[in-house]
Structure 1
Amino acid sequence: MLNKRISLIALGMLSATQVMANDQAESKGFVEDSSLKVLLRNAYINRDKKDGNADQREWGQAAIGTYTSGFTQGTVGVGVDAFGLYGLRLDRGSHSGGQGIDFFKEGDSGNPAGDLAKAGGAVKFRVSSTVLTYGDQMPVLPVLSYDNGRLLPESYTGTLITSKEIDGLELNAGRFTAESRKSAEGHDSGGLKSINVLGGSYQFTEQFKAALYASDVEDVLKKQYVNANYVFPIDKDQSLTLDFNGYRTKLDSSYVRENTVPGQSIVTGDDNKIWSLAATFATGAHSFTLAHQRSTGDSNLGYAYGGYQKDQGRVGDGGNTIYLANSYWSDFNAEDERSWQLGYGLDFSTFGIPGLSYNFAYVRGDNITTSTSEGGTEREIFNQFKYVVQSGPAKDLSVKLRSSILRVSQKSSEYNSSGNEVRVFVDYPINIF
């Protein structure tokens, strides 16, 4: 049914020629609007696990090249996008590899690869302000969002239509039939059969924006997402932002029967609802956040997303498909979990250091249910400094230092584990043309 809806909406998108928006009419040409960029990334993650769990550590150097063409002129514009990825493992220690960090997938021998390389490409067509893209892509949607938080990014192969014919309205419809895991070579290393996505967002006023999306992962689950975001201007440099995000997932009965989560019990239950409401008060260089997040339903997976079906018993809809307030190292998404966040942000540009920012969050979750216990808890202290070079030969180079202290009660050990995490990312984007 969802597949049929996508086909009908796609037809409507492609036939739309609203005079309110026509990006194709302003096309400068295939070559004239093209760009080639290279991102050099040095990434390090260290997880000091507690309670007898094995430590994890990954360190790698990556080169991520992306080419984006313009569109040919005329009623129907044609273009291409392409990327090439290479990652080199720098840490050859005994703690390298392992689920969670996932820079380099472990092979049959149990050891991660020393390096990996892959490439992909897509062809795109534009009519007015509607673009159809077919091929290898990195979608950023609430129900299918690729993971770029490790050494190399994920990618998906399929078709995506994005329409912006009406000012403030964006519509998306797509179908993807392969997933390229961020830590492995090949175009179909994630185990995804297919995923259909459908939805859109609309900027109702300058202050209010809302979104509604749905997805159907073949033989796994159906998911719906809703968002509402409102900004209350208070003064010249003061505002209050309310942001609501919610997901509802329904696991397929066959998935519940046939799949298990490694190290845990057989999947039980099929329904989960999770939502978060965050209030952020910004004044000058400072921001203060209070957020609440709640998970309900009978699925012992809680909110299921991302991962790779073949070896993780997970979903395959992208490692960033969790548009929720309390998602840091832990996602606070266990069965029945309730969590609160106190957050703080500081922009140092006000104090004469443009490009430097700091973020802090304390999140505590309780009421966690597992197959053996109820009432479990977890808590996380998150700190992050980020600096972006503002000028000179290293302009736009960014350094991100992030740490998390996560403590999980014994009752919740089936769901999560305690540890101390450190992440260091250095990204240097280079514009070739």
Structure 2
Amino acid sequence: MLNAKKLTLAVLVQAALISTAVASEQSEAKGFVEDAEGSVLFRTGYLNRDKKDGLTNDTSSAAQTAIINLDSGFTKGIVGFGAGIIGDASFKLGKNGHTGNQMIPTHEDNADGTKDAYDHWARGGAYVKARISNTTVTYGTQVSELPVMASNTARLVPEYYTGVFIESNEIKNLNLVAGKFTKNQWSDDIKSDGQNLDRAIIWGAKYKFNDQLSSSYYGLDVKDKLERHYADVNFTQGLKDDASLTLGFVGYHTDWDEGAATDSHTTNDLSNRQNSIWGVSAGYNKDVHNVMVAYQDNAGNTGYDYGYNADGLQSIYVPNSYLSDFNGNDEKSVQLQYNYNFKNHNLPGLNWTTAFVYGWDIDIASQTDRSKIIDQAEEHEFFNQLKYTVQTGPMKDTSLRLRHSYLRASDTYNNASGNYVSNAIGSTNEWRIWLDIPVKLF
């Protein structure tokens, strides 16, 4: 692992040094102000989970936010410099007495220890950046989009990381990255280091072989928590009558340190917890129709537990991920998904997605003896989403998304307390309503 990180950093440095004499992104820089961009995303979000397991309280959250992104251009010269600000300012809609699910920050003000939602709050930070040729170094508050440490962007506001990130595009079709982060702030954290991250190191590469084939690999090492590796391969083949076939493979392997948080392991040895999760998918696209089938598989002595070790609450780039991620211990799952575009009905921008996923063979362990498997559980989810995006005019790119999941699981997989352990969400009816209004400032 250490050699892989050193090799990635060495390649980044070498690429920057040998390419400064040729045409590059930096040679095209227009200036700190001239290339600056600014935007505000006004988002109204509502998330409701109606729990059906008889064990967990329902949650319901509604809030309004403005997510700000101010990004300068680069100064001219061999080395260009820039800066930026990202952040959000929000307020709750209604009482939100049953908030949860990383939507709204809470504080303990009540005598019985129960938590109340903040009425209003603000978060964010600044960053500085430097670029030489096609290599950029950024330090400060950032949103991570790497699959091994992906910031949660599926809530009201994003999850933030603070640290240094290097991205290089010196070699045609090859993207190299490396970074070190020392702070992690969840979407419902007020503190910039709410997850007490010590150190997370990331590295990886993505290569486009041609217009049909691409592949990537990324690694992550969170100090005293885990080591994770990710790889994917994607292939697209054009067919007659403007149809296409897309094939994909994705896989993770994770080893947890003794101090890491996991909930679904079937071993009493906390220094020997590991998981491999992989999935394959095939999609057929023609005109307004898209059909996808997928198979997903877990192996190891724990499920694919993620997010609770400062490793990103969206680090689950697998095909069978909706409300449930179908990532239980030893779980297998299959999916059928269908997407329809209403453009032929004079409704461009309107899309409907429906999917059904079935998971089985989930190892459920006794809480008193994690090595004792007491059941092979199952779960299934029926997912529907309708999304409309404005295509033209002053409200262009404004979107309204309505999403519903119907998730049911075995009683033992629902039971996250008592005599069993589980990383399941549990039997739930979920609604999400998202209204996004982007405004370009400059």
User: TM-score, normalized by length of structure 2?
Assistant: 0.90
Structure 1 residue 223 corresponds to structure 2 residue 236 = no
Given candidates 48, 51, 72, the residue that maps to 1:49 is 51
Return closer, same or farther for 1:50/1:222 CA change in 2, 3 Å cut-off. same
Partner of 2:429: 420
Match of 1:271 among 263, 270, 274: 274
Match of 2:394 in 1: 393
Q: Which moved more, 1:138-147 or 1:155-164?
A: 138-147
Would you say the 8 A contact 1:201–1:209 is kept in 2?
yes
| CA shift for structure 1 position 81 | 1.7
User: Counterparts in 2 of 1:40-79, with a 5 A limit?
Assistant: 40-52=42-54, 53-79=56-82
Q: In the alignment, what sits opposite 1:333?
A: 327
Once the two structures are overlaid, the 10-residue window that deviates more, 184-193 or 2-11, is 2-11
Which of 206, 211, 233 does residue 201 from structure 1 map onto?
206
Which stretch shifts more, 191-200 or 400-409?
A: 191-200
Provide the C-alpha distance between the structure 2 equivalents of 1:214 and 1:397, rounded to a whole number of angstroms: 35
Q: CA RMSD in A?
A: 1.9
Tell which deviates more after alignment, 408-417 or 60-69.
408-417
Q: 1:236 to 1:122 in 2, by over 3 A?
A: farther
- Return the letter of the residue paired with 2:259: Y
Q: Answer yes or no: is 1:188 the counterpart of 2:190.
A: no
The aligned runs of 1:206-285 (5 Å cut-off) are 206-252=211-257, 254-255=258-259, 259=261, 261=263, 269-285=272-288
CA shift for structure 1 position 79: 0.7
2:292 matches 1:298: no
Equivalents in 1 of 2:169, 2:21: separation in Å?
11
Alpha-carbon distance, 1:10 to partner:
4.1
The change in CA–CA distance for 1:149 and 1:267 in structure 2 (over 3 A counts) is farther
- The structural deviation recorded for 1:132 is 0.6
CA drift at 1:104: 1.6
Aligned to 2:40: 38
Structure 2 vs 1, CA of residues 127 and 279 (structure 1 numbering), >3 Å: closer, same or farther?
same
Name the CA distance, whole Å, in 2 between partners of 1:234 and 1:7. Answer: 40
1:323 to 303, 317, 324: 317
| Fraction of identical pairs, as percent | 37
Q: Which residue number corresponds to residue 286 of structure 1?
A: 289
Residues 106-160 of structure 1: CA distance to partner in whole angstroms, max 9, x if unpaired?
3234222222102211111111111011111112111121111101111111111
Cα distance in 2, alignment partners of residues 375 and 104 from structure 1:
35
8 Å contact kept, 1:104–1:115: no
- Contact 1:21-1:165 at 8 Å conserved across structures: no
* 3-state SS, counterpart of residue 107 of structure 1: strand
Distance in 2 of aligned mates of 1:69 and 1:335: 46
The question of whether the paired residues in 1 share the 8 Å contact of 2:267 and 2:301 is answered with no
Distance 1:22 1:386, change over 3 A: same
1:343 partner amino acid: Q
Aligned to 1:382: 383
8 Å Cα contact 2:8/2:204 also seen in 1:
no
Counterpart of 1:103 in structure 2 is 103
**1:226-275 residue CA offsets vs partner (Å, 9 max, x unmatched):** 100000111242011001110000011x226xx5649x998855110000
Match of 2:154 among 143, 149, 155: 149
In 1: Cα distance, 2:89 partner to 2:269 partner? 36
Structure 1 runs of 4+ with >6 Å offset: 264-267
Separation in 1, partners of 2:130, 2:120: 34
Is 1:80 the equivalent of 2:89?
Answer: no
Q: What is the rounded CA distance, in whole Å, between the counterparts of 1:18 and 1:29 in structure 2?
A: 18
| 1:427 aligned partner, one-letter code | D
For the 8 Å contact 1:276–1:292, the answer to whether it is kept is: yes
User: Quick check: 2:105–2:190 contact (8 Å CA) kept in 1?
Assistant: no
Q: 1:14 to 1:304 in 2, by over 3 A?
A: farther
Structure 1 residues 411 and 422: alpha-carbon distance in aligned structure 2, compared to 1, 3 A threshold: same
Distance 1:111 1:6, change over 3 A: farther
- Which of residues 11, 14, 17 is equivalent to 2:13? 11
C-alpha contact (below 8 Å) 2:68/2:86 kept by paired residues: yes
- CA distance, structure 1, for counterparts of residue 20 and residue 364 of structure 2: 52
State the alpha-carbon separation in 2 of the partners of residues 341 and 20 from structure 1: 48
Q: What is the DSSP-based 3-state SS (H/G/I as helix, E as strand, rest coil) of the residue aligned with 1:422?
A: strand
Alignment partner of 1:123 is 2:128? yes
Q: Which amino acid aligns with 2:304?
A: Y
Which string of whole-angstrom CA distances, capped at 9 and with x for unpartnered residues, describes residues 302-353 of structure 1? 11221xxxxxxx2211111111000100000010000000000011113321
CA contact (8 A) 2:20 2:132 kept: no
Q: Distance in 2 between matches of 1:432 and 1:315?
A: 36
Aligned residues of 2:350 and 2:388 also touching (Cα < 8 A)? yes
Cα distance change of structure 1 residues 233 and 431 upon mapping to structure 2, 3 Å threshold = same
> d(CA) in 1 for partners of 2:347 and 2:306?
38
User: Which segment is superposed worse, 387-396 or 147-156?
Assistant: 387-396
Counterpart CA distance in 1 for 2:233 and 2:21 is: 28
Q: Does structure 1 retain, via aligned residues, the 8 Å contact 2:230–2:252?
A: yes
Choose which of 140, 154, 157 in structure 1 pairs with 2:145: 140
| SS, match of residue 72 in structure 1 | coil
Per-residue CA deviation, residues 70-115 of structure 1 (Å, 9 max, x unaligned), is 101110011112113111111314322x3xx211233234222222
- Distance across 2 between alignment mates of 1:260 and 1:360: 31
Q: Letter of the 1:317 partner, please give it.
A: D
Alignment length, in residue pairs?
A: 417
8 Å CA contact 2:231–2:252 kept in 1: the answer is yes
User: Any idea what SS the aligned residue of 1:167 has?
Assistant: coil
Question: 5+ residue gaps in structure 1?
Answer: 307-313
- For 2:357 and 2:23, locate their aligned partners in 1 and report how far apart those are by CA, in whole Å: 43
Say whether the 8 Å CA contact 1:133–1:161 is kept in structure 2: yes
